[in-house]
Chains A and B, each alone.
Chain A
């Protein structure tokens, strides 16, 4: 499937210089957790990166305080940060880090127990960019120039309650619909004008990004709220099932991971993780333990093994490999601290909390890094992205770096 797309790349490359009006390409990272929504890039990691992961920081940009990640389409990157009472979304040229456009609006920093700033990543679809702020501002921008096509304040809806740390799940686009983790069981809006198609009862959402999946019952959306992980019908918002999962402060933040009729869920604050079996509107745990406690960054699943960070930001967190089938720990590696990771095909790319990148083959036999390199200073909790052969990573203070080889 990749090859026909690759063969189309040359004409598209020409178009990139003309506009952003492009379909998504295989090497794009158009939204949170990448094109496949699983934190795994299908692109190949350059051979040089295997030996010199630190690569070269080719440019840096300052985007303001926050924890949002990046979305990359073609030659443009979209991200957001906070400074001086305003959130700003940036469109940045990936070639040199220059700002193509930006848009600012008033927002509270929201620095409760941490630095604050936006947590949701902008989502790119077609020629448009969708952004949800912590406090319920929803924007649709023209990707080319940042013109606001429409915007709305979700708090105007009676059903909407802002959770303690604000909205941090990114918008999910499927077809003509925007899905948001807003309300007790999500919300759907028409992408052309923001008209609400369905909404759920008032209640605290979780902090995960809506995950579209096709269950046996049909097209569904997996969400978290303050007390559960749950599934709803995409078309109607009708609840399919809900698994009670209560965590201190209502922080169910990591995106669920789905394989066939099984769903992996995980939360921090010493809550733990579980593998749920879905069938006939029923949900039952196959196993549950405290082996992989994801405070907010999700794990990646490669073959039958989960790779992720276990533990909270204020304790001794560790990178772990957990067997999907049994929940048993295959190995634990404690030198990355409270980091984050993505996979590039079968290579794990880990950004530790102090700004070093590690690369190692994903293997249940152990974490054997082939290289390591420092790319950022400060606190690094945000998962980097990989697109078109480059890595983009940020720290909490708002330094964004592009790493190349």
Chain B
């Protein structure tokens, strides 16, 4: 047992500035005509918060699956009394409904085309993290939104969560001392993966549209619903999912804008070699990955495992900031905790304040989005910063694929002296989809 007393939230509040309640926007009272692209579990989480805020009217829903559309439309009707229109093609939705806000909650490989189409259709956009699937998609999103003059909020809700805000203030207060190293981590359970039989897509699902610009592969229930993150055609594995949240915290904390060198290693020692053939498939994202981000003034590491979980660790997920004076842990449901190196000093802790059941801060993030639209000010998770955070997992995946470290020129967004690496800044799209030009 730790000899040091544990200081609870109330005591910590004396040390840490109280989290300010977000200033309410000049309430326009306006109800924005809003559409949802990608009407699954997470998209509906966002839409529910948006509806609860009283700032929107849901005009339309889009999904490639009839079933998802029907379930989502029924819920919108239950909540609002109004029946939204439903579309299976987001382009038709944008053209016919002319929404003022578009929420995008599709797999990563769709974010760029849909965000760009939405801002070009004069909509403000709330898009799920990470921004893109390859780096130049993300850059094209940023440029398109800037050109269109539209407000974009990216779903990196940990930038606005109360314990993240107070934790960041604590880190910046200097109490931790000079930080030389940050370690980000997440772990899950799992074992050897048996291939699962492919199936034809469920009735009423436009599987070709789901795959969209990515290669068309046989349908498999490992992919949908909810499994796309573990298929590298559609996303960037755990590093692109959880990693982007913690890397975003690191970029929020540091004054540096990007790392100068990135190295990643890993693979699938436990789940096994990926399988993809006509009759069956497995996932293909790494079950083990370590990535090192070398900044000017500190080193940051990422590690994930999809087995063994983290029973030996007090904190199961998050990032440790190692400073001269002690270790600061930024967590999720476990809030933040500071462990001083000096055993006479007290441990300081603050609980999380999350929305249940899924432990997020979408309510605050949505309010900030509306404030951004109405004030013209940059949102907390605007595309500029979210692009920089989303690039980091993609750099990690590039290094993993190449099997060597890459030197990153963040200003030019190019890998130095490595033409093969620079080819991975974009990828070929499956026709008729065209890779967005920055």
Interfacial residues, chain A to chain B (CB-CB below 8 A)? 84-85, 106-113, 115, 135, 155, 161-164, 203-204, 226-227, 246-250, 269-270, 312, 314-316
Is B221's CB within 8 Å of the partner chain A?
A: yes
B contact residues, total (Cβ < 8 Å): 28
11 CB < 8 A contacts A-B: A85-B194, A107-B194, A109-B191, A112-B227, A162-B221, A246-B71, A248-B68, A250-B202, A269-B71, A316-B356, A316-B357
Given contacts A155-B197, A163-B221, A270-B75, contact A85 B227 (CB under 8 A): no
Interface string of B33-72 (1 = CB under 8 A from A): 0000000010000000000000000000000000110110
Q: A227, B194: Cβ atoms under 8 Å?
A: no
Contact at A106–B199, with CB atoms within 8 Å? no
Chain B residues whose C-beta falls within 8 Å of the C-beta of A110 in the assembled complex = 196
Q: Are B193 and A108 in contact (CB under 8 A)?
A: yes
Contact of A246 among B74, B191, B192, B199 (CB under 8 A): B74
Whole-angstrom CA separation of A204 from B70 in the bound complex: 17
Closest-CB distance, B203 to chain A (whole angstroms): 7
Q: Report B-chain residues with C-beta under 8 Å of the C-beta of A162.
A: 196-197, 199, 221
Q: Does B96 contact A (CB under 8 A)?
A: no
Q: How far is the CA of A249 from the CA of B68 in the complex (A)?
A: 8
Partner of A111, one of B74, B190, B197: B190
Specify the chain A residue showing the minimal Cβ separation from B41. Answer: A248
B48 to chain A: closest residue by CB: A270
The answer to whether B356 touches A108 (Cβ under 8 A) is no
Beta-carbon contact of A204 and B202 below 8 Å: yes
> Taking beta carbons and an 8 Å cutoff, which residues of B are in contact with A?
41, 67-68, 70-71, 74-75, 189-197, 199-200, 202-203, 221-222, 225-227, 356-358
CA distance A210 to B13 in the complex (A): 57
* Cβ-defined contact, A164 with B197, below 8 A: no
Q: Are A246 and B194 within 8 A (Cβ)?
A: no
**A108 to B225 CA separation, bound complex (whole angstroms):** 17
Contact A108 B71 (CB under 8 A): no
B396 → A minimal CB distance (Å): 25
The answer to whether A250 touches B199 (Cβ under 8 A) is no
Contact A226 B194, beta carbon cutoff 8 Å: no
With CB as the reference atom, state the residue of chain A lying closest to B196: A108
Q: Say yes or no: A226 contacts B189, CB within 8 Å.
A: no
Task: Report how far A115 CA is from B71 CA in the complex, Å.
Answer: 26
A108 to B281, CA, bound (A): 12
Contact between chains at B192 and A249 (CB < 8 Å): no
Question: Chain A residues near B193 (CB, 8 Å)?
Answer: 108-109
- Is B226 within 8 A of A113, CB to CB? yes
Given contacts A85-B192, A112-B222, A203-B203, 16 further A-B contacts (CB under 8 A): A85-B194, A108-B194, A109-B190, A109-B193, A111-B190, A112-B227, A135-B196, A162-B199, A204-B202, A246-B74, A250-B67, A250-B202, A269-B71, A312-B357, A314-B358, A316-B356
Residues of A within 8 A of B357 (CB): 312, 314-316
Expressed in whole angstroms, the minimum distance between the Cβ of B294 and any Cβ of chain A is 35
Q: From residue B28, how far is it (CB to closest CB) to chain A in Å?
A: 31
Whether the pair A164, B225 counts as a contact (CB closer than 8 A) is yes
| Residue from A106, A246, A270 in contact with B67 in the complex, judged by beta carbons closer than 8 Å | A246
